[in-house]
Amino acid sequence: MKKCIFTLCLFLLPLWGGRVGLLYSIEKVESPSLNLTAYFDVQEGRPVYWLLHKGDTVIRPSHLGLTIRGEKGRTDFNDFGTKERPTEEVNGLLSGFVMTGSERFIHDSWWEPVWGEERRIHDSYHEMLITLTQPAKERYIQIQFRLYDDGLGFRYIFPQQKNLNYFVIEEEQTEFAMPGDITAYWIPGDYDTQEYEYTRSKLSEIRAIQENTNKANLSTTTFSTSGVQTPVLFKTNNGLWMNIHEAALVNYSCMHLNLEDNHVFTSHLTPDIDGTKGHIQTSATSPWRVIMVGETAKDILASRIVLNLNEPCKIEDTSWIKPMKYVGVWWEMIAGMRDWSYTWDFPSIHIGVTDYSKAKPHGRHGATTENVKRYIDFAAKYGFDGVLVEGWNIGWEDWFGNEKDFVYDFVTPYPDFDVEGIHDYAKSKGVKMIMHHETSGAIRNYERWLDTAYQFMRKYEYPAVKSGYVGNILPIGEHHYSQFMNNHYQYCLEKAAKYHLMVNAHEAVRPTGLCRTWPNLIGNESAQGTEYQAFGGSVPNHTTMLPFTRLIGGPMDYTPGIFENDIHKLNPNSHSWCNTTLCNQLSLYVTLYSPLQMAADLPENYERFRDAFQFIVDVPVEWDTVYYLEAEPYEYVTIARKQKDKNAWFIGSTNGYDPRTAMIDLSFLPAGQKYTATIYADAKDAHYRNNPQAYTITTKTVTSKSKLRLFTAAGGGCAIKIVPKQ
Amino acid sequence: MKKCIFTLCLFLLPLWGGRVGLLYSIEKVESPSLNLTAYFDVQEGRPVYWLLHKGDTVIRPSHLGLTIRGEKGRTDFNDFGTKERPTEEVNGLLSGFVMTGSERFIHDSWWEPVWGEERRIHDSYHEMLITLTQPAKERYIQIQFRLYDDGLGFRYIFPQQKNLNYFVIEEEQTEFAMPGDITAYWIPGDYDTQEYEYTRSKLSEIRAIQENTNKANLSTTTFSTSGVQTPVLFKTNNGLWMNIHEAALVNYSCMHLNLEDNHVFTSHLTPDIDGTKGHIQTSATSPWRVIMVGETAKDILASRIVLNLNEPCKIEDTSWIKPMKYVGVWWEMIAGMRDWSYTWDFPSIHIGVTDYSKAKPHGRHGATTENVKRYIDFAAKYGFDGVLVEGWNIGWEDWFGNEKDFVYDFVTPYPDFDVEGIHDYAKSKGVKMIMHHETSGAIRNYERWLDTAYQFMRKYEYPAVKSGYVGNILPIGEHHYSQFMNNHYQYCLEKAAKYHLMVNAHEAVRPTGLCRTWPNLIGNESAQGTEYQAFGGSVPNHTTMLPFTRLIGGPMDYTPGIFENDIHKLNPNSHSWCNTTLCNQLSLYVTLYSPLQMAADLPENYERFRDAFQFIVDVPVEWDTVYYLEAEPYEYVTIARKQKDKNAWFIGSTNGYDPRTAMIDLSFLPAGQKYTATIYADAKDAHYRNNPQAYTITTKTVTSKSKLRLFTAAGGGCAIKIVPKQ
């Protein structure tokens, strides 16, 4: 489907001889429906692009390029009979360019994801491929622009050539010059964590807000008070919505944005251990830099540009990749009711040496055979696919904070966790066990054990693993989002694919649509998840931000479903409070798309609210399509989805701070038929803090002409199941 | 055999309460034959030891201890009802100590190495175990002294305890206060290489010599102009010989020595990537710090203290560990006659992507099937056990200098290397192939491939691997001798043992007797090897130093046997010269003990000197015992060995700069019998530079009463084979 339609000017420098005075015009490319136009120019030797939406500037002229280690200042020409040429100012791959090629391609196709929000995805763009030559260095690079109706993607291409084989990035200097002092929805730039709450502010306020707010903890590594992470959402002063992110982050450093003067963001890569920003061997490409543009916030949700910019699926047989709804031995530990660890007998643990068989259990261990069987029973009773168990393997007594290398072996269970028995029991009940690999950031150790650990999973038929990277990375000095680490996550993912295992990596780099290429990447954390509700509580509107930001790159294992707000009831030492209503929790199963959805609360809390729990029992994890009904980031979001292969629709409306009435237009339903809607709604007096468990469950007959008006409380929401009327 | 004989004073601090004023005397321990006496004392809160040989001081009072990250300056007492106590000056594990225990043990045993210079080794020492408590920190450590007749070993023991679980070493501050301005035989301290030639100088001259000599190259990382590496040899002004090294370097950083004022060496550990010197989790021990003492230089050669201080063999079935004599496709590349690489077609190589099958060979590739078969034929003809082949696997075109991660996969051969065919051919000829794994310092990549690579070796029946670590280590900033890297070498070694594979690691940390515990560590480089004879030439007396220094820790794969001195004959672009006589090369098979001995020169050079080559054909790699006949480091060394299970003796005399007459007393031969000695000797006019290939081969009848006087030329030597007269 890829076709070169015309070539504007493809000049090859004649034997690199002499100073080349190329004539060129400003290059431009338009999106298929012509709503977006991207321009490219070389100005004073530097590449520049800008982006317009229906004539309005959304990205002002912005430089492109990279600085390279050891390549700064004036460059002598190579001695290829060109001695007469003077030295020339060339700074890495930042300047000294002339345009020597400009090609156009059109692409239009549909593809089917292994799992996703929709069964088919439309991939339609116009491409502009610019070739840029540095005569002084006798080398060239390319910049590939793909303009979709929902945004612009571009990336650097570094072709293999005599004078460009290996280089070390000092910094990528891609600019995103914003159209004025617009509104941003952002979290601070950080090399090691995305576990922040979002701030809505003007660009001009970002620095002061960060300077006056200290969110630093052991996990954070900020680099600038004007740094933000991607995906970052914007609303322009003309009412347009934008989101800047990256796609297909492979063998490259994770990009942050740093706000400079004049409302210009520049890319800021996560450093490797030596402070450099990435080692490149040509042929290579950067990830795609993506600027999503929409007239409504719903357009941002509907955009598939990040997936489209990723490579097609590289796994041939994907039959083993199956979305899962699961419960697990997890919230008990997060809430501080139980422990991951088993004993207090040892000052520290030496895996393979410490003898647990003689240790006295402290009695707080969560992952006991008995407790796990309780969850298996619960899962089987309510049709959950899987049971996650954390703290099953030895080493949790001193897993964190010691820069400890050999912290786990990933295969040795605690004495009270019967791997074989649990496997047999789960299997007899038709439930899959979900593996847990906390690495504690000790990368070398994890990679050393990886085959053994994955083989163990195969042996005991665990289809998926939740992996974790809590704490400082070993080798010391590496950051969670560096090229080195991104290569590690990719290594695990590809190896897992060989073993037919699904991966849900927590504390790893945030996703960039790689689940298209590697659909066994079934989930990621990479944002503030539900656990924070037990760590002091999240802000009530946190989940109204996630679909517009974090989820742009791929699904999140947010682990919703907390019915008991008062953590004190689970753990007398805790005074944490889950800042949502119960219906808000229900809504998240629809508004936060994920092929992996947990019901995170304790079985007894679900049994207490058995009627409301029915929505979690009913809600699927596989879908035919999606309808974005309402969207106001920071405030609320309402989404409807059609269950895969079934005539069943599920709606979630997630609300923020202010009580409101959701307007739910059911026109997406096939016309000419009656349906039964089961509506889980906040009671009128519900409130995330004072009355979170006040809800109503009502049944109503609806058609495609129905418009539901549903109250959603502060920190509230509603959830609806619709099926054809019997 | 370990028995506590008496306890001098074992005080336990009563509930850590109150300031403890312990009474103590100076502790001492004497070696079994009473020739050495070690003393210990705590002076102003700091541990101090000193060592006497028959009343003469060999180590003056020297401090012990370590500084710890984050533990400097005054320390507040913990709040265990001890608030009345003042703060106290405690600097890590360096000061603030009181002695709270002193125990004595006697040990006397014999053990049999899997391979070695002798069949049985005597392990006899007196031990003094000192317990040192820091009341201010409510914690304790121990220092374990083992006094042998041939030296002192001591190490730090860090027992697991409530207040000492994890710590990070800032620096080990072990002092070795030398007895005046004595003579040292040293190479510069370096974090990344031991490939230096030795200097003989007074201690007081070390700094000036290093300041005035620039030996820096891409491989070197020096840290101080008064730094030296161990094993380092000394001769005191009273004529005693000493050598300082370490034993059992496991999970710890490699120790160098830095000369401070007043002739005091202090330990200087190789830093990890973050500049710290090691992460310790208790229980733990440091390696042994070893001070060998002898009245003659021969005593240094005869000492087994480094092996004795290592743990017994941890491999149960050692039947697969077999010393080997081998040839290989190697010197051709070292000399620049052939290449490791295959083609010049590619600007750079992407393993798994670059398609070699279509590449044009440059015609200089050494590891071709044809050439390898030539070496197999040669090995079979002359009874060599193995054939090493370097450059057999793809990736050599750009293996070095690019901080490249995925530089090799260790399993994919070049198109002209037929793994299967070579395996079959070698097997049919009774020859084993020796694997080569150059890692290029990319540790993560090697560990990722290690199982696959070892499985490949098993499949094709390679019993041993020569591994290499050329270039800067990845992760960037790590050094070859850091704790991180030492753990890597150990990881490979132990994994290889599981696969029943022998390891010969080049550019790895120098050995510390670990071959006792892991006898599959069949060799190491870790010094300037024969390759330097093709890199410009080594000094003629280089090999007269190795037995007294580098070989103290374990065998070296020195790769002797160069018969053609003029490298120009192999490579027209080279003007390198091998600075030895041919007989010097023969002598090395005896004077440089190794279970792995190469005949490094080309087959055609051996055929040219077929008569002299017979010594290499005859010399074995397994021995019953050894006789050190003459020893003057820097000048000459003469050693005789009895072949294992055979009535055959081999003698080598290796000479340095000055021509001399070796005096070879054959009294080690069983008396009452006649023997035939085949003597390979320098001709009278031989000289390493002018006439290296001038030799005589004579046969003589000898008895145990014979004393041979043999001329050895400048850079010369002689070699003798003795068998019972027929």
b/e for A618-644, b at 16 or more Cβ within 10 A?
A: bbbbbbbebbbbbbebbbbbbbbbbbe
pLDDT band at A82 (very low <50, low <70, confident <90, very high): very low
Q: Tens digits of per-residue pLDDT, B355-395?
A: 999 999 999 999 999 999 999 999 999 999 999 999 999 99
Residue A7 has a pLDDT of 38
Please check the confidence at residue B189 and state whether its pLDDT lies above 60: yes
Q: Tens digits of per-residue pLDDT, A278-334?
A: 999 999 999 999 999 999 999 999 999 999 999 999 999 999 999 999 999 999 999
B447 with A451: Cβ contact below 8 A: no
B347 with A282: Cβ contact below 8 A: yes
Residue B81 has a pLDDT of 39
Distance (Å) from the alpha carbon of B318 to chain A's nearest alpha carbon:
23
Q: Tens digits of per-residue pLDDT, A364-381?
A: 999 999 999 999 999 999
Percentage above 70 pLDDT, chain B? 94
**H-type helices in B309-467, by residue range?**
331-334, 369-382, 419-428, 443-459
Please check the confidence at residue B5 and state whether its pLDDT lies above 60: no
Considering only the beta carbons, identify the residue of B283, B448, B477 that sits closest to A274.
B477
Question: Among all residues of A, which ones are annotated catalytic?
Answer: 531
Please check the confidence at residue A23 and state whether its pLDDT lies above 80: no
Residue B91 has a pLDDT of 86
- B476, B490, B499, best to mutate vs chain A, most A CBs in 10 Å: B476
Distance CA(A305)–CA(A247), nearest Å, equals: 9
pLDDT band at A572 (very low <50, low <70, confident <90, very high): very high
Ordered DSSP codes for A132-188: EEETTTTEEEEEEEEEETTEEEEEEEE--BTTBSEEEEEEE--EEE-SSS-EEEE-B
Integer-rounded Cα radius of gyration of chain B: 27
Residue B716 has a pLDDT of 98
Write down the mean pLDDT value for chain A: 94
ipTM of the complex: 0.92
Is B170 at the interface with chain A, CB within 8 A? no
Percentage above 90 pLDDT, chain B? 92
E strands present in A240-357 = 241-247, 255-259, 264-269, 279-281, 284-285, 288-294, 324-329
Distance CA(B508)–CA(B407), nearest Å, equals: 18
Residue B657 has a pLDDT of 98
Please check the confidence at residue A494 and state whether its pLDDT lies above 60: yes
Residue B6 has a pLDDT of 38
Q: Is pLDDT larger for residue B71 or for residue B638? A: B638
Is B448 at the interface with chain A, CB within 8 A? yes
B405 with A487: Cβ contact below 8 A: yes
Contacts of B402 in chain A (CB under 8 A): 165-166, 281
Distance (Å) from the alpha carbon of B177 to chain A's nearest alpha carbon:
34
Is B162 at the interface with chain A, CB within 8 A? yes
Torsion of CA B332, B334, B337, B340, to 10 degrees: 80
Residue B89 has a pLDDT of 62
Which residue shows structure tokens 């510390």?
A: B512
Instruction: State mean pLDDT over A616-631.
Output: 98
pLDDT band at A662 (very low <50, low <70, confident <90, very high): very high
- Positive/negative CA dihedral, B702, B703, B709, B713: positive
Residue B80 has a pLDDT of 39
Q: Which of B132, B164, B10 is nearest to B64 (CA)?
A: B132
Instruction: State mean pLDDT over B143-161.
Output: 98
Distance (Å) from the alpha carbon of B536 to chain A's nearest alpha carbon:
30
Distance (Å) from the alpha carbon of A591 to chain B's nearest alpha carbon:
40
Nearest C-alpha in A relative to B401: A166
Q: Tens digits of per-residue pLDDT, A106-128?
A: 999 999 999 999 999 999 999 99
Please check the confidence at residue B407 and state whether its pLDDT lies above 70: yes
Residue B25 has a pLDDT of 76
Distance CA(B440)–CA(B507), nearest Å, equals: 10
Distance CA(A496)–CA(A501), nearest Å, equals: 5
**E strand or H helix at A262:** none
Residue A215 has a pLDDT of 76
Q: Which of A340-344, B4-8, B28-32 has the lowest mean pLDDT?
A: B4-8
Please check the confidence at residue B75 and state whether its pLDDT lies above 60: no
Q: Are B639 and B626 in contact (CB under 8 A)?
A: yes
pLDDT band at B217 (very low <50, low <70, confident <90, very high): confident
Contacts of B168 in chain A (CB under 8 A): 403
Please check the confidence at residue B23 and state whether its pLDDT lies above 60: no
Helix/strand/coil for B457? helix
Residue A90 has a pLDDT of 75
Cα A569 from chain centroid (whole Å): 33
Distance CA(B491)–CA(B719), nearest Å, equals: 39
Residue A83 has a pLDDT of 41
Instruction: State mean pLDDT over A594-617.
Output: 98
Instruction: State mean pLDDT over B49-78.
Output: 85
Residue B7 has a pLDDT of 38
Q: A with B: how many residue pairs have Cβ under 8 Å apart?
A: 82
Please check the confidence at residue A650 and state whether its pLDDT lies above 60: yes
Length of chain A: 726
Contacts of B477 in chain A (CB under 8 A): 273-274, 477
Nearest C-alpha in A relative to B272: A476
pLDDT band at B282 (very low <50, low <70, confident <90, very high): very high
- B448, B450, B473, best to mutate vs chain A, most A CBs in 10 Å: B448
Is B484 at the interface with chain A, CB within 8 A? yes
Residue A15 has a pLDDT of 35
Residue A238 has a pLDDT of 96
Nearest C-alpha in A relative to B444: A444
Q: Tens digits of per-residue pLDDT, A407-423?
A: 999 999 999 999 999 99
Instruction: State mean pLDDT over A48-52.
Output: 98
Name the active-site residue from B531, B564, B630, B635: B531
Contacts of A403 in chain B (CB under 8 A): 166, 168, 279
Please check the confidence at residue A382 and state whether its pLDDT lies above 60: yes
Q: Which of A433, A474, A440, A490 is nearest to A456 (CA)?
A: A433
Instruction: State mean pLDDT over A177-187.
Output: 98
B403 with A478: Cβ contact below 8 A: no
Instruction: State mean pLDDT over A699-709.
Output: 98
Write down the mean pLDDT value for chain B: 94
Distance (Å) from the alpha carbon of A279 to chain B's nearest alpha carbon:
8
Residue B18 has a pLDDT of 35
Helix/strand/coil for A292? strand
Pairing of strands B324-329, B596-598: parallel
Which residue shows structure tokens 């190495």?
A: B113
Residue B90 has a pLDDT of 75
Q: Tens digits of per-residue pLDDT, B501-536?
A: 999 999 999 999 999 999 999 999 999 999 999 999
Integer-rounded Cα radius of gyration of chain A: 27
Residue A8 has a pLDDT of 37
Please check the confidence at residue A14 and state whether its pLDDT lies above 80: no
What residues form DSSP beta bridges with B577? B566
Nearest C-alpha in A relative to B251: A405
User: Kindly report the CA angle at A350 between A344 and A356, in degrees rounded to 5?
Assistant: 50
pLDDT band at A24 (very low <50, low <70, confident <90, very high): low
